[in-house]
């Protein structure tokens, strides 16, 4: 199961110490996992999920992929790239009206050959069937949920824990806390399952990015549902309940995609101290949360902390106005 994937990225992604930041916060030893460097059309966490999703689509003889998201969705951009590689027709359903100028991820979707549909003013839950019905009979559509977050996609992050554990063991490093941006939940579900499957002794601190619920469920319920499916698939003994799903909601005051001073602070701190670029929507918000926890000693001093960089670079270019 865990080895049944279609190669889309370059793995393992690097893990390294952030020495300047560790100097700025002398109570902590700070590391980063570079999933912004997965290599698929500017990288990001969706590459790992798509390796499993695209494999399933190919194995089951689908020839067309549908997915959906915000106009600057990194998931949609990486899905477009994955489909180009796999020879699948890619349809993206994006929220809102078509803008005059295509920038950031939207521009890349176009270059990667995706067929783009805009929902316009329609705010309803996206109905994939209604978009795919207009396709010819020889098209067999494979539907990928928001963010690629189902149990198939989450396997990418189960596997990612195995990858990280080897890197840490090889270098004799123990990580006490892992911070990352959690939105559609597949990354979080996969990391939770991977930690239990591969016995990595660490605590996850998922920073919640948006307030929205998915498919009528609270995010906690949605994530638990993926975790329970994974438990079955991977034959895990552990019992999971809703209280096992931790989501830090201290930093999602502003709506999804709205840039505030928090994200700007985080982006410039990382850029100026380490030369690493964060994105305005996910990693900027999550890294701000981590900085706040370090600054205010919300986690035990003396610990080793890892920031899991999940990508998102192209979205920066859509936020030029807000960032200068």
Question: Which residues, in sequence order, are CB contacts of 20 under 8 Å at separation 6+?
Answer: 273, 274
- Contact between 159 and ligand PLP per CB under 6 A: no
3-state secondary structure 140-159: CEEECCHHHCCHHHHHHHHH
Tokens 């370059």, residue located: 10
Instruction: Compute the least distance from the CB of residue 278 to ligand PLP, in Å.
Output: 9
- Contact between 282 and ligand PLP per CB under 6 A: yes
For ligand PLP, which stretch binds (CB under 6 A), given 5-13, 15-23, 251-259, 304-312? Answer: 304-312
For ligand PLP, which stretch binds (CB under 6 A), given 53-61, 123-131, 297-305, 306-314? Answer: 306-314
Whether 166 contacts 33, CB under 8 Å = no
For ligand PLP, which stretch binds (CB under 6 A), given 9-17, 104-112, 170-178, 276-284? Answer: 276-284
Stretch 181-210: interaction string toward ligand PLP, x if CB under 6 A = xxxxxxxx----------------------
Q: Which of 156, 279, 294, 318 binds ligand PLP (CB under 6 A)?
A: 279
Tokens 């998201």, residue located: 69
**Is the Cβ of residue 92 or residue 181 nearer to ligand PLP in the bound state?**
181
**Is the Cβ of residue 29 or residue 149 nearer to ligand PLP in the bound state?**
149
For CA atoms 61, 225, 69, 248, the dihedral sign is negative
| Other CB atoms within 10 Å distance of the CB of residue 283 | 34
For ligand PLP, which stretch binds (CB under 6 A), given 12-20, 131-139, 178-186, 191-199? Answer: 178-186
Pinpoint the alpha helices (H) of the chain.
19-24, 46-59, 74-86, 104-111, 128-132, 151-170, 186-197, 219-233, 261-274, 283-295, 320-323
- Contact between 312 and ligand PLP per CB under 6 A: yes
Stretch 87-126: interaction string toward ligand PLP, x if CB under 6 A = ----------------------------------------
Q: Which of 81, 311, 316, 318 binds ligand PLP (CB under 6 A)?
A: 311
* 317 CB-contact burial (10 Å; exposed 0-12 / middle 13-18 / buried 19+): middle
**Is the Cβ of residue 23 or residue 250 nearer to ligand PLP in the bound state?**
250
Question: How far is Cα 293 from Cα 286, in angstroms, rounded to an integer?
Answer: 11
CA-closest candidate to residue 152, choices 242, 59, 215: 59
């Amino acid at each position: 199961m865990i080895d049944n994937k279609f190669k889309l990225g370059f793995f393992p992604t690097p893990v390294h110490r952030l020495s300047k930041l560790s100097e700025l916060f002398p109570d902590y030893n700070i590391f980063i996992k570079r999933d912004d460097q997965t290599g698929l059309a500017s990288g990001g966490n969706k590459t790992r999920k798509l390796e499993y999703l695209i494999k399933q689509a190919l194995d089951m003889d689908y020839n067309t992929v549908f997915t959906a998201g915000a106009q600057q969705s990194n998931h949609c951009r990486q899905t477009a790239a994955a489909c180009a590689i796999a020879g699948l027709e890619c349809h993206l359903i994006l929220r809102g009206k078509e803008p005059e100028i295509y920038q950031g991820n939207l521009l890349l979707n176009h270059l990667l050959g995706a067929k783009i549909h805009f929902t316009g003013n329609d705010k309803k839950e996206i109905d994939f069937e209604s978009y795919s019905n207009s396709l010819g009979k020889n098209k067999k559509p494979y539907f990928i949920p928001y963010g690629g977050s189902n149990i198939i996609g989450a396997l990418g992050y189960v596997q990612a824990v195995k990858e990280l554990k080897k890197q840490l063991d090889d270098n004799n490093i123990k990580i006490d806390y892992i911070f990352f941006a959690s939105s559609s939940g597949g990354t979080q579900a996969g990391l939770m399952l991977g930690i239990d499957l591969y016995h990595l002794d660490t605590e996850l601190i998922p920073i919640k990015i948006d307030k929205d619920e998915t498919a009528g469920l609270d995010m906690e319920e949605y994530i638990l549902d993926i975790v329970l499916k994974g438990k079955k698939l991977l034959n895990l003994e552990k019992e999971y309940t809703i209280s096992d799903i931790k989501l830090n909601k201290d930093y999602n005051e502003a709506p999804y995609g709205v840039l505030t001073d928090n994200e700007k602070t985080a982006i410039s701190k990382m850029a100026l101290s380490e030369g690493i670029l964060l994105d305005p929507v996910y990693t900027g918000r999550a890294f701000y949360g981590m900085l706040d926890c370090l600054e205010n000693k919300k986690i035990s001093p003396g610990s080793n902390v890892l920031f899991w960089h999940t990508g998102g670079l192209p979205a920066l270019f859509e936020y030029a106005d807000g960032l200068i």
